[in-house]
Homo-oligomer: A and B are copies of this chain.
Amino acid sequence: MSADLVAQSPKAAIGQHLLADLYGIAPALLRDAPALAAVLRNAAEAAGAHLLASHFHSFGTDDGVTGVVLLAESHISIHTWPEFGFAAADIFMCGRSHPARALAVLVAALAPLRQEVSTAARGVRPGC
């Protein structure tokens, strides 16, 4: 392939990273670490990703939760602020998995009144 053609090729990212700010969620759900762990595991499965480990921490019965599922394809995390009805999630996946499907599961389960989602391409493969 000529240098010109290489230069014109679209860059191939190593992974996609979705940042989702989710507002207007029922506070009780944002305090429920086991429920949130199940949501993130379901999200990973829907994306076609493979679970390596998970850890969810509750800050107290009236407080939020911070948790992560570590994946062969990277991770999904969630951090919640029930006092604001707010959750910050991120979905980072490489390979053949489908982060948008994971996001759809999160949104269906948490039912936010409003969401702001951005996507970042992470890493450029050498030669691309």
Q: Which residues of A contact B (CB under 8 A)?
A: 14-15, 17, 19, 21, 23, 52-53, 55, 57, 59, 66-68, 70-72, 74-75, 77, 79, 81, 84, 86, 88, 90, 92, 94, 118, 120, 122-126
A68/B79 in contact, CB under 8 A? no
Q: Pick the contact of A125 from B75, B84, B124 — CB < 8 Å?
A: B84
Q: Which residues of B contact A70 (CB under 8 A)?
A: 55, 57, 66-68
Point out the residues of chain B lying under 8 angstroms from A79, CB to CB.
Answer: 15, 74-75, 92, 94
CA distance A86 to B74 in the complex (A): 14
B92 touching A123, Cβ below 8 Å: no
Interface centre among A67, A70, A72, A84 (most CB of B within 10 A): A70
